[in-house]
A and B are shown apart, each in its own frame.
Chain A
Amino acid sequence: MSEPLLDVRDLRTEFSTDDGIVRAVDGVSFKVEPGQVLGIVGESGSGKSVTCLTVMGLNDPKFAVSSGEVLFRGEDLLKVSKSRLREVRGNEIAMIFQDPMTSLNPVHKIGRQLAEAVVLHEDVSRKQAYARARELLKAVGIPRAERRIDDYPHQFSGGMRQRVMIAMALINNPDLIIADEPTTALDVTTQAQILALLKRLQEDFGSAVIMITHDLGVVAEVADDVIVMYAARIVERGAVRSIFNEPRHPYTWGLMGSLPRLDVNVERLYQIPGQPPSLLNPPVGCRFHPRCAFAMPVCREKDPRLEATSGDPAHEEACHLDGETKSREAAALVATLTAGAVV
């Protein structure tokens, strides 16, 4: 394989708070290849958003300290100058945020906001920038783009605003798009439109995408590869089919079992006891052990490493259980879900 587009190595981000130091990201490594769609799933506080904010250099330097390496085409973004980072951001890497209302400037027309993104990164005239803005609004399926370019954000509905955000992210043809819960604030039919749009544009433009979400359904629909995060760490990763068809970490089992599903009837949902730990004072050993039904003495002492145990070298999980138990439990879970399947 050629050089990956993004190579994150042992990323750590700490925030100092009044209560102490919060390790929001604690030793996370992953790679993104050109054109790949990587899904990062996890519950709130698992560190998925902070990971991506750190990659973009968007954490407040007053409170956050990061270490590790973020190699974007071989260049470490944690070490580059602020002006170089600004060149990369919005040009080579773009971000789509969750809430389209708060991430657009309410006092400027959207045409101006889109054109600004072009002018900042390219030496073009205002006219050319506006032409590009119009073209992108059309590409993301905004009807009557010529007229709507002079509208303010409040004149758009939620789904349309998210389309504008996507247009803004794509306007400089980035190689990597980081989408942080891009459809969470939207209704389900709008979500389907936006996901279909993202997929189509990703194919047309050939950008790589990191999709951060708490929704396993969204990941199953769009991602090529999946990372599952829990308490600031990666607990499992692999190709999307292998994660869903043979999950190998007890937390992933818990997530899948506790998810009510349209296509599966179960009388009672599996329930992960307790709640995610505080990152001020995370459990020693495996961070999931206090909630894990399979916890062994070793889990309380030793931190499990990410390793491949299924024979598929791309599928890794951080769990002390033996490979046989994992395969058996995974098969049992998938069998339960299949047994409950309707239509």
Chain B
Amino acid sequence: MSTVGAGNELLVVEDLKKHFPVTRGIVFQKEIATVKAVDGVSFTLREGETLGIVGESGCGKSTLVRCILKLLEPTGGRVVFQGQDITGLSRREMRPLRRNMMMVFQDPYASLNARKRVGFIIGEALELHGIGTPAERKRRVQELLEVVGLNPEHYNRFPHEFSGGQRQRIGVARALAVNPKLIFCDEPVSALDVSVQAQILNLLKDLQREFGLTYVFIAHDLNVVRHISDRVMVMYLGKAVELADRDELYIHPKHPYTGALLSAVPIASPDIGRARKQVVLEGDVPNPINPPVACNFHPRCPRFHQGHCDVETPPLAPIAHDHLVACHYPLERWPMDIADRSVAAAQPVESAG
């Protein structure tokens, strides 16, 4: 659980931006537009907590993580890890720091090298960081296999000999190998079946308790995020629209987009699910090349106020203790009443075409 307080900040992200140029021409590339995949995101990560990041596809959650890890070069902003500004570091300078920040990927089929044995895949990071002798490394890998619930004798097997859930366990073991402080999990369970998903979620929770890990957990599944996270950040079109403690966010959402997301999730109980009032958003997520001005949610927002929301960008500001929201007209109550809506039905927005 999160231990709130100053001084235990593991990671501070300030106004992080990643803009991708859209170019035309092959030899002489002319920049004709930019996609603001991540556009000024700030948050603080406390040691030992799990921060969930949710949003629909294209909201920039994966790009954000790749920028923090410097797998992509951010366009602007600052990333401070354990008090050290890592934004300007070269690849070589980054290398020793990478030990502390590992990643678990979404697709357990694509993220393991099919031609390497499991022992090599898990032990590679140890070798790269020059940790231990070959014999020690082998022992460590076997220990890791056991920690993630696999048989240490599977050391010499290839990834294809494992099921999806087992492969994801290998992915977790690989991330754990060098004793990192922080693990970024990018949709680690979305490719798995429900029963296997529960095994991996439980494993991640157990490992966190055992090794004092900090997680950044990206997912589009709000059920999963609720289960695993201490705090949750909601992203829309490259921006953070709401950030709060898990229960606060799920019980008292303030941003209309968060509300719409929550009400869109099907509930596995016919009695509850069918009784509630749904807020069905019209249209699709707009084209990020040409996002709406000011609050970029305004064309789909049930609480849109003309002349304000489409003119002035709302800042991400505190609304309650540990609860930040970027909205001029945050929700007063949840579930939303019909009276809380300022427009009857927003015009459908189209993204493509």
Contact = CB atoms under 8 A, between A and B. Distances in A.
A155 B194 CA distance: 33
B316 interface: no
A239 to B, nearest CB: 9
A269 B227 contact: yes
Contacts of B278: 192, 196
Nearest to B260: A189
B266 interface: yes
B247 interface: yes
A75 interface: no
A221 B270 CA distance: 6
Nearest to B191: A44
B284 A160 contact: yes
Interface stretch (A128-136, A201-209, A253-261): A253-261
Contact of B280 (A160, A196, A217, A272): A196
B195 A188 contact: no
Given A214-B193, A263-B272, A188 B265 contact: yes
Interface stretch (B105-113, B115-123, B217-225): B217-225
B266 A342 contact: no
B320 interface: no
A266 B228 CA distance: 10
A333 interface: no
Contacts of B221: 188, 260
B261 interface: yes
Interface stretch (B14-22, B130-138, B197-205): B197-205
A43 interface: yes
A278 to B, nearest CB: 10
Nearest to B276: A263
A282 to B, nearest CB: 16
A221 B274 CA distance: 6
A342 B269 contact: no
B222 A262 contact: yes
Contact of B56 (A143, A187, A215): A187
A257 B195 CA distance: 9
Interface residues of A, number: 54
A244 B268 contact: yes
B251 A343 contact: yes
Interface in B224-274: 224, 226-228, 247, 250-251, 260-274
A203 to B, nearest CB: 14
Contacts of B202: 268-269, 271
B195 A192 contact: no
A272 B198 CA distance: 8
B285 interface: yes
B265 A255 contact: no
B165 A275 contact: yes
Given A196-B280, A260-B224, A271-B195, A189 B56 contact: yes
Interface of A: 43-44, 141, 143, 148, 151, 155-157, 159-160, 187-193, 195-196, 214-221, 240-241, 244-245, 254-263, 265-266, 268-272, 275-276, 337, 342-343
Given A190-B56, A342-B250, 4 more contacts: A217-B273, A241-B270, A270-B198, A343-B251
8 contacts: A189-B264, A192-B264, A217-B223, A255-B194, A258-B195, A259-B198, A271-B198, A275-B195
